[in-house]
């Protein structure tokens, strides 16, 4: 594979997480798979999980290009290695939180801009992400590329236990404040008056001690609430398939991999109306968007009353992901950015 003037370039890929089942890790693994499918040499360094040493120094010197995931986290980590000088082309990919939340902090924005100023390309998942970066630094406008996320969801041969209850609501989310995991709590609790066997399942790593304690307490107090903790990505297909409804309650999203995964499997998704969710869900066409908890219940009742409408939405969701969020399409767009940087 030849990109620009470089034949099979070596790429050092920086990601905050690679082993832990988080959104950044899902994104990194998907892009790395695409790079390897091209026949490109790629080394992956998870800077929040690994220690920098002589081996990585060698990769740093040998790489033709750096691809960096998450602007703020990388910028903070890089300040601890003052002897490193980036004198190769590098691409930044927004992880979502860095653009949606971190740019609100002037000090974080300053740090992120320092890294972004010398980049040859910045990729974001949606036009909203592009707009927010331009608002923070309009000098970056010509180097921002919108590349929607794709879905790469491996399936395990291991059978997943049935999710008990009906209906079952599944929220795939790491335990951190931005995910606002209890946003629909009161509504779901009230809905038990209609469905006594209703069950709410939360899946994701415990990333915030206070939230984790709250989750464990609620699980003890309420038989209808279940915390499944962190589940390997290859086992998530079985979890999605057993759920009746998949939820996203995040305050903000870059572009939720979990939402796209559920949609790709033809699941009924109810998502809080933020820019990231609205970039992939057309209300009552490929899923349902809600502005507040009361509207969630109102729209849920509508869907429950019409099996035909629900089936139509689920079919459109799966078709939409196939047509607009394939790994092949995503990697073709990254190829264009790499070519731009290496030419």
Neighbour tally for 107: CB within 10 Å: 8
38 & 143 share domain: yes
Q: Are residues 115 and 193 in the same domain?
A: no
Same domain, 117 and 185: no
**173 located within any domain:** yes
Q: Which pLDDT tens digit goes with each residue over 83-102?
A: 888 999 999 998 777 666 76
In a domain? residue 163: no
Does some domain include residue 156?
Answer: no
- Kindly give the pairing relationship between strand 168-172 and strand 199-203: parallel
Per the domain annotation, does 310 fall within a domain? Answer: yes
Q: Which residue has the tokens 């800077």?
A: 47
Number of domains in the chain: 2
- In this predicted structure, the answer to whether residue 6 has a pLDDT above a threshold of 60 is no
Is residue 275 domain-shared with residue 338, that is, in the same domain? no
Same domain, 83 and 96: yes
Does a structural domain hold residue 155? Answer: no
* Mean pLDDT of the 287-297 span: 98
Radius of gyration of the CA atoms of the chain, in A:
21
> Is the domain of 315 the same as that of 338?
no
- The reply to whether 102 and 32 lie within a common domain is yes
Quick: pLDDT tens for 271-282: 999 989 999 999
Residue pair 44/69 in contact by the 8 Å Cβ criterion: no
CATH of the domain at 212: 3.40.50.2000
103 half-sphere exposure, CB direction, 13 A CA radius: 22
**Max CA distance (Å), the chain:** 66
Does 160 map to a domain? Answer: no
Same domain? 173 vs 320: yes
- Nearest C-alpha neighbor of 277 from the set 252, 300, 301, 294: 252
Q: Which of 210, 201, 214 is nearest to 173 (CA)?
A: 201
Which of the given ranges, 105-119, 205-219, 329-343, has the highest pLDDT on average? 205-219
Q: Which domain holds residue 16?
A: 2-149+327-342
Contact, 200 vs 131, CB < 8 A?
Answer: no
Would you place residue 159 in the very low, low, confident or very high pLDDT band (cuts 50, 70, 90)?
Answer: low
Q: What is the DSSP string of 270-284?
A: EEE--HHHHTT--BT
The model's pTM is: 0.84
Determine, yes or no, domain membership for 161: no
Question: What integer is the mean pLDDT of 40-47?
Answer: 95
The reply to whether 196 and 270 lie within a common domain is yes
Is residue 237 domain-resident? Answer: yes
DSSP structure string for 170-220: EEE--BSGGG-TTTTHHHHHHHTTT-TT-EEEEES-B--HHHHHHHHHHHH
The structure tokens listed for 305 are 């009353």
**Do residues 194 and 247 share a domain?**
yes
Both 174 and 249 in a single domain?
yes
Output the CA–CA distances (angstroms, integers) from residue 342 to 52, 62, 86, in the order listed.
Answer: 26, 15, 15
Scan for tokens 């209808």, then name that residue: 224
Residue 4 has pLDDT above 60, yes or no: no
Asked if residue 304 has pLDDT above 80, the reply is: yes
Question: Do 59 and 47 meet the contact criterion of CB atoms below 8 Å apart?
Answer: no
Both 176 and 79 in one domain: the answer is no
Mean pLDDT of the chain: 90
Provide the sign of the torsion angle of the four alpha carbons 232, 238, 239, 241, taken in this order: positive
């Amino acid at each position: 594979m030849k990109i620009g003037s470089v034949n099979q370039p070596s790429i050092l890929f920086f990601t905050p997480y690679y082993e832990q089942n988080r959104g950044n890790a899902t994104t990194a693994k998907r892009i790395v798979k695409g790079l390897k499918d091209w026949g490109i040499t790629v080394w992956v360094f998870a800077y929040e999980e690994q220690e920098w040493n002589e081996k990585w120094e060698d990769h740093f010197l040998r790489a033709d290009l750096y691809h960096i995931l998450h602007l703020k986290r990388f910028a903070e980590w890089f300040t601890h290695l003052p002897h490193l000088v980036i004198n190769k082309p590098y691409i930044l990919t927004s992880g979502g939180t860095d653009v949606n939340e971190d740019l609100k902090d002037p000090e974080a924005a300053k740090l992120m801009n320092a890294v972004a100023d010398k980049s040859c390309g910045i990729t974001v998942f949606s036009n909203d992400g592009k707009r927010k970066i331009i608002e923070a630094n309009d000098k970056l406008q010509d180097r921002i590329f919108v590349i929607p996320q794709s879905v790469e969801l491996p399936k395990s041969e291991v059978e997943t236990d049935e999710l008990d209850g009906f209906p079952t609501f599944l929220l795939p989310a790491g335990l951190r404040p931005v995910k606002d995991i209890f946003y629909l709590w009161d509504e779901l609790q009230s809905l038990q008056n209609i469905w006594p066997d209703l069950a709410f399942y939360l899946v994701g790593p415990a990333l915030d001690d206070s939230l984790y304690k709250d989750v464990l307490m609620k699980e003890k107090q309420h038989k209808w609430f279940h915390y499944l903790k962190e589940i390997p990505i290859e086992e998530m297909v079985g979890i999605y398939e057993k759920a009746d409804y998949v939820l996203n309650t995040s305050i903000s999203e870059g572009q939720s991999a979990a939402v796209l995964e559920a949609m790709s499997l033809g699941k009924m998704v109810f998502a809080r109306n933020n820019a990231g969710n609205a970039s992939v869900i057309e209300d009552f066409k490929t899923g349902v968007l809600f502005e507040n908890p009361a509207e969630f219940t109102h729209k849920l009742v509508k869907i429950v009353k019409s099996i035909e409408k629900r089936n139509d939405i689920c079919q459109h969701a799966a078709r939409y992901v196939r047509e607009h969020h394939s790994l092949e399409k995503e990697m073709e767009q990254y190829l264009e950015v790499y070519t731009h940087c290496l030419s």
